[in-house]
């Protein structure tokens, strides 16, 4: 019993608490499929239900994984902006950010596929001055208009180098945004703050004089990959 308990605890610690409800429901469905497959007299139905249950269980464990990450010491200085998510850099644009920075800025957009780690981490350290959730549509996350039209969060952090603004944006498959920070919180770069469930996009808006360290097509990892350097 002791071995089984610690084995279960070890597996649980590999999964994010942001997805606990989803994990319970999806694993219950998977077990139900296995139950009906076991007692079915139809060979084809047994095969379909059994395989579907295994696939669903594997996808659940994979999607809600929460690998332990530690901010590399060489990027711990506060001028570094660290990737808030795993995924691929899909856009690098200059634009006017109207919600929090209210100035010209550089925006980095990171696309997360359903196979990427979806736990999100703070890209910078500082004081949270904005933390809002906004409902909306479910357009494909790679479309430019999805940044404003889709359901998303708006998070603004005042750093010692100025304001940084970022968004969690849902896509076609993503239907839920979770974040556990509020206005007035002090946050640390690399620490977890939420997740986007089932494929999505993360936008990070930085002061215009920031030095961008990534290119379109680059693969980045949350809490590990530096994506920009802020200037005084």
Its pTM surpasses 0.85: no
Q: Show the tokens assigned to 208.
A: 């215009």
Q: What is the pLDDT of residue 220?
A: 97
| Non-local CB neighbours of 166 within 8 Å, separated by 6+ positions | 84, 123, 155, 157, 202, 203, 204, 205
Helices 20-39 and 43-63 meet at what angle, rounded to 10?
A: 160
Residue 80 near residue 126, CB atoms below 8 Å: no
Per-residue burial over 193-220, b = 16 or more CB atoms within 10 Å of its CB, e = otherwise:
bbbbbbbbbbbbbbbeebeebbeeebeb
Residue 83 near residue 67, CB atoms below 8 Å: no
Q: What is the pLDDT of residue 143?
A: 63
Q: Show the tokens assigned to 38.
A: 């076991």
- Which residues are catalytic, by number? 200
Q: What is the pLDDT of residue 138?
A: 63
Question: Going edge to edge, which strands form the sheet with 162-170?
Answer: 186-187, 126-134, 152-159, 162-170, 200-207, 103-112, 87-97, 219-220
SS (H, E, C) the chain: CHHHHHHHHHHHHCECHHHHHHHHHHHHHHHHHHHHHHHCCCHHHHHHHHHHHHHHHHHHHHHCECCCCCCCHHHCCCCEEECCCCEEEEEEEEEEECCCCCEEEEEEEEEECCCCCCEEECCCCEEEEEEEEECCECCCCCCCCHHHHECEEEEEEEECCEEEEEEEEECCCCCEEEECCCCCCEECCCCEEEEEECCEEEEEEEECCCEECCCCCCEECCCCCEEEECCC
Q: What is the pLDDT of residue 1?
A: 40
Q: What is the pLDDT of residue 5?
A: 44
pLDDT tens sequence for the chain (232 residues): 444 544 445 455 688 888 788 888 889 999 999 888 888 888 888 888 889 999 999 988 888 888 888 898 888 888 999 999 999 999 999 999 999 999 999 999 999 888 888 899 999 999 999 999 988 766 665 666 666 667 889 999 999 999 999 999 887 655 678 899 999 999 999 999 998 877 688 999 999 999 999 999 999 999 999 999 999 7
Q: What is the pLDDT of residue 175?
A: 61
d(CA 61, CA 84): 21
């Amino acid at each position: 019993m002791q071995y089984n308990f610690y084995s279960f605890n070890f597996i649980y610690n590999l999964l994010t608490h942001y997805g606990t409800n989803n994990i319970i429901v999806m694993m219950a469905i998977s077990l139900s499929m296995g139950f009906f497959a076991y007692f079915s007299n139809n060979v084809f139905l047994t095969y379909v239900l059994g395989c579907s249950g295994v696939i669903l269980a594997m996808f659940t464990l994979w999607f809600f994984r929460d690998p332990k990450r530690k901010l590399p010491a060489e990027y711990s200085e506060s001028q570094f902006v660290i990737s808030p998510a795993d995924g691929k850099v899909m856009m690098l644009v200059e634009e006017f950010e109207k919600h929090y920075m209210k100035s010209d800025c550089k925006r980095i957009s990171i696309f997360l596929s359903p196979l990427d780690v979806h736990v999100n981490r703070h890209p910078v350290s500082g004081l949270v001055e904005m933390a809002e959730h906004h409902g909306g549509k479910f357009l494909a996350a790679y479309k430019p208009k999805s940044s404003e039209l889709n359901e998303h969060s708006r998070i603004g952090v005042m750093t010692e180098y100025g304001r940084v603004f970022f968004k969690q944006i849902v896509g076609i498959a993503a239907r839920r945004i979770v974040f556990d920070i509020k206005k007035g919180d002090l946050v640390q770069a690399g620490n977890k703050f939420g997740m986007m469930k089932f494929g999505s996009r993360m936008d990070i808006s930085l002061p215009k004089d920031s030095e961008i360290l990534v290119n379109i097509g680059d693969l980045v990892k949350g809490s590990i990959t530096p994506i920009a350097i802020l200037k005084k």
